[in-house]
């Protein structure tokens, strides 16, 4: 998640933010359980075409916690060009991302549609992030909550 978060940085997570009826929004930084297999590499739940992001996760939830940014939600279409998600035909750029600089996994030009009750996650360090491009959208029920504050190390204390 560099440059937004450093390795070892600690965050507070609002576990009630989505369990009381709210839904994640594009741009939210969330903590979630990825699909089983994501913690060991790139595992998509269905066969996929070359140049296509993973359209469906594995059926099982991992017990590992990941933290990523929501880039697309239920019903959205998404493709990736140079690490930038193209959501519903519009580039979703932000000054919080590290560019790809030609690293692998930066271009997935084939458009997929995010299934109902699923969210497409990407890390801010786009060229080095293991995320939904490889293991698919995350079911809503696997999202733990929204990260909102960083408290460690003291030099990085602040609101996300």
| pLDDT above 70 for 103 | no
Is 2 contained in some domain?
Answer: no
Is 3 contained in some domain?
Answer: no
Q: What is the CATH number of the domain that holds 98?
A: 2.10.109.10
Indicate the pTM of the whole model.
0.91
Is 33 contained in some domain?
Answer: yes
CB 143 within 8 A of CB 83: no
Is 1 contained in some domain?
Answer: no
Is 115 contained in some domain?
Answer: yes
For 136-148, what is each residue's pLDDT tens digit? 999 999 999 999 9
For 10-53, what is each residue's pLDDT tens digit? 999 999 988 887 899 999 999 999 998 888 766 888 988 888 89
Is 4 contained in some domain?
Answer: no
Per-residue model confidence (pLDDT) at position 74 = 98
Euclidean distance between CA atoms 3 and 140, whole angstroms: 26
């Amino acid at each position: 998640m560099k440059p937004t978060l450093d390795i070892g940085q600690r965050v507070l997570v609002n576990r009630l933010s989505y369990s009381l009826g709210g839904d994640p929004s594009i741009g939210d930084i969330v903590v979630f359980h990825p699909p089983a297999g994501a913690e060991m590499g790139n595992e998509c739940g269905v066969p996929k075409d070359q140049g296509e992001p993973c359209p469906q996760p594995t059926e099982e939830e991992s017990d590992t916690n990941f933290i990523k940014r929501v880039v697309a939600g239920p019903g959205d279409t998404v493709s990736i060009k140079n690490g930038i998600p193209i959501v519903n035909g519009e580039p979703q750029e932000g000054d919080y991302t590290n560019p790809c600089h030609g690293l692998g996994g930066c271009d997935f030009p084939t458009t997929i549609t995010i299934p109902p009750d699923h969210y497409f996650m990407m890390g801010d360090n786009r060229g080095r992030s293991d995320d939904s491009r490889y293991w698919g959208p995350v079911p809503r029920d696997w999202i733990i909550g929204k990260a909102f504050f960083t408290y460690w190390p003291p030099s990085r204390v602040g609101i996300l």
